[in-house]
Structure formats: structure tokens, C-alpha cells
Structure 1
């Protein structure tokens, strides 16, 4: 056997559940997402729990931006989570966790009809969520990091912010040229504390603030010039002639 062929055989193998291979489409995983999962699993099986997206992108012949896009699509569908764990070196490390794939697979195999309904509901909810991810990425002019993707997911899953309200917070951040999620989070938290939960409420408050600011500004004094109206004389008509 050729040395290279021997090396390829003993380079290691990636084990995959046949059930997942047969039913991944039924749990809402696209072909592109499944390929990304396989590449990440390949690297994770070799001991790297937080593989570099650039390495995966190179294997797939895609850009890193495309790989990140697939990852936060899977985050939105609850197929993937990002965890922080303490390693053998007693340091905190991030790692990808794809257990959500198998959690949904179990549901699909036990209750096919219910699983299909859940999948449709998830797909419906993922669309506005996906738009938020895409809009932020475009306005920031860069790919989002896994931690940023997790933070945005929390806006939906834990804070339950309206997608359109998140879009308004993004607009405010862009207008002030502050391109980070921390600033957006402060805006959203401020609106939440003031009871502004819908786009209509946010826009109404914004308009009220503008009107209040305009009303509080001092009105300019009218200057006397060529266009100023002539002063009305204090005497009555005919009075001046009677004095002569």
C-alpha cells in the first residue's frame, strides 16, 4: 500500500448517527448547515472543541463569513449552543455544542407530526431573527463572532425583544457611528425600562422628544432691517397739521 494511502486510512474517522443522516432534513437542517456541522464535528472529534471557522471555510471552499452565517442560522434554530467550560489548564474556554441536533431528532422520531409542526413554527420565527443577524452584519461591515451571535439570540430567547425594535436600536447605533452590540444592548434596555416594547411606541417617544426639544429652544428675536414693518405713529391723523 502506498504510504500516503496508508496515512489517509489511519488519519482517523468521523462517526455519524445513521438516524441523523437519514432525518436531518426533517428537523430543519439544510444541506449547507449539515456540511458545516460535519466539518466542525471532524475537528471536534480530534480534540478541538472550538474549531476556527476559517479552517472549516477552507475545507468547504467557502468564505468565513458564509460559515458564520450557517452557524448563527443553527443557533437560531436551537441546533447549536456555545458554552464556556473550564479546561484542564483551569482556564475558561468556549466550545460548540451540537446536542440540539439530537434533541430534535429524538422528538422527530417519537412524534413525527408534532415535530413537523414545531419545525414549521421554528422556521417562521427564524426568518425575522435571521434578518436581524444579516442587518447587523451588513451595517457593522464584518462577520459576527460566535459570542456576538449568542448575545443576539438572547435578545430573542431571554429578553423577548421585538425584531423591529432591535432594528430601530441598530439604526440609532449606526446614526451615532457606534458599531458594537454593547451600545445596542444599552439602548434596548433603556427602552425596556421606559416601557417601550413596540416600534410604534419607540417612534412615538422619539417624536415626542424631538418636539419637546424644539419647544424648549429659545425663539430668535426679530431683527429690525429693511424688511421690518414701519412703526405706527403715536399721534392721530390730522393732529400734526393742527400743531403747525
Structure 2
């Protein structure tokens, strides 16, 4: 059989924001797998799959599924709600609304308050956890503003052209913030100074800073 033969099984739509940031939300790998399964069943109009169904789709036992569900409920990421169908029958459904509210809140913290129409580029960057984007977000958080395209190119050059260790760049940013100098030029001068002293690792930089405090 070919891939197209399996397309009849359908696809599950899932939040890239959650995939990018679930560790920061204190969600374990196992819990994420269960959340994906719950989404799949929900999107197939099966909002309350049994523990046996969930276990059959994973490497978890039914006992492990029950434990993971309880963990998600305790973290307030998952709720069990009662619903009444068109025939008046009462049933249960799993709801992940609280989880996605937490994701929204987290992304809002990462993005800040954006004007309408400004979301696209920043949102894409927010769910990109590459080393470069992590650095850029840290600069934006410390500077309290978005980096300009030229500033983004400069941060990228520190990584890709100068080959500075990302941890050293973070230490240089910290030194700039301590000096209340919120500019990339200041950070660049710090990096050049450390380069002149042949400091290549974060531990060497920290020892250098301790000696010169």
C-alpha cells in the first residue's frame, strides 16, 4: 500500500504552539502523546474514548492512561464535562479548552501585545524553538521591544559567521542589561572584548568576570 491509500484514515489538526512549548508548560512527553490521542478522537467525533481505546493507540497500559488523564486533570489542562445529546441522553466528553487557554496565555507572554495585522512573522518566530529564535526572543524580552530586521541579522551573524557560543551571547546580554545598555552595539563590544581575551566557553567567561568584578 502507498501513503495515499492511508489518507482515508484522515489527519489530525494540532497546535504548533503546544508542540513548541509543551516542556515550558510542564507537560511530559507521555502527557503530550495522550493529548494528541484525545485530539484525534475528538476530531473523529469520539469525544470520550475509553482508556482501552487510548491504550490500544499507544504504548501505555490502561492503568497508565488512567494515571495520565488524572495528571492532566490535576494540572487543570483537561476536564470531563457532561453533555446531553439530541435524544436527551447524558454523556461525558473530554475537554482541552483550559489547556489551549494556557497555550494562548503563554504565547501572549512571548509575543507581547501586537496590533492587528502584525501577528504573522512574530507568531511564526514564537513557535520556532531554534537556537537563533530562542536568542532573539531573549533579547526582545530583556530589551522590552522587538528587534529590527537589521538587529536580527546581527544576532544571526554572531551565531553563523562569528560562531560565538550561544551561552556566551546570553552572558554578554546579561552584562549589557546589568549596565543598563540596551543595544546590540554594546553587546557586540562585550563579545569582541572576550574574543580578544581568547574566552571561548561560558565557564571561561564566568571566571573572567569573577576576576574582574
TM-score under structure 1 normalisation?
0.43
Instruction: Work out which of the two has the higher radius of gyration on C-alpha atoms and give 1 or 2.
Output: 1
